[in-house]
Amino acid sequence: MRLKRETYLQQIRPYYEVDLIKMITGVRRAGKSILLETIRDELVENSVREDHVIYLNLEDMDYDYIETADDLNEDIKGRIRDKAIPLCCRVSLRRF
């Protein structure tokens, strides 16, 4: 069972449709990834197409080819299927 961080979600929800980059930061193991997974799920539940949500966990070995910011940029651009801007992107930048 995933802990739903309703207090944080209430603060973030008004910005779901705002055309700005949102950053969620915090100490290690504070629940940032769980919060972003919850946001992703809410977006999809509220009619955002799943292919418009980009979610990468760079700690996953499947993404070990991404070594630079340019690599990351190319990967993300390759995932955008049309001109719609993705609404959620989870990236751990610890390696950069």
Summarised one tens digit per residue, pLDDT across range 60-77 is 889 889 888 899 889 888
What mean pLDDT do residues 1-14 have? 84
38 with 55: CB under 8 angstroms? no
pLDDT band of 59, cuts 50, 70, 90: confident
pLDDT band of 86, cuts 50, 70, 90: low
Helix (H, G, I), strand (E, B) or coil at 69: helix
Sign (positive/negative) of CA torsion 15, 87, 1, 29? negative
pLDDT band of 11, cuts 50, 70, 90: very high
38 with 9: CB under 8 angstroms? yes
What mean pLDDT do residues 17-36 have? 82
Q: Tell me the domain boundaries of the chain.
A: 6-90
Q: Please calculate the CA angle 36-16-8 and round it to the nearest 5 degrees.
A: 50
pLDDT band of 96, cuts 50, 70, 90: very low
